């Protein structure tokens, strides 16, 4: 019951760059970050992104996509598939 949610902590330069590129959205709901995988914006905190060293402190993929990718990778390994051409 002691779940601590940490917000993204980008440097001012990183923040400016990501706002410009559309990776960040900052509105009345707070700072949101676009997932590099599904392209959806999610609240930029550790509830939606895994904690990571460097950058803004958050993973570039949302937790949902991380889970999906892990699941897909497991399946690929199981069936012996590599890259599909």
> Residue 9 CB, nearest distance to Zn ion (Å)?
20
CA distance to 37, 57, 58, 59, 62, per residue, from 54 (Å): 19, 5, 8, 9, 16
Q: Which is nearer to Zn ion, 11 or 67 (CB)?
A: 67
Residues binding Zn ion (CB under 5 A): 35, 37-38, 62, 65
Euclidean distance between CA atoms 35 and 20, whole angstroms: 16
Closer residue to Zn ion, CB minimum distance, 10 or 61: 61
Nearer to Zn ion among residue 23 and residue 65 (C-beta) = 65
In the block, tokens 């892990």 appear at: 70
């Amino acid at each position: 019951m002691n779940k601590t949610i940490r917000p993204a902590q980008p440097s001012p330069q990183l923040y400016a760059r990501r706002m410009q590129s559309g990776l960040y959205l900052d509105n009345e709901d707070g700072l949101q970050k676009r997932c590099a995988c599904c392209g959806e914006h999610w609240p930029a905190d550790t509830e939606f992104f895994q904690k990571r060293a460097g950058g803004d402190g958050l993973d570039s993929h949302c937790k949902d996509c991380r889970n999906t990718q892990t699941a897909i990778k497991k399946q690929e390994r199981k069936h012996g598939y590599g890259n599909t051409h």
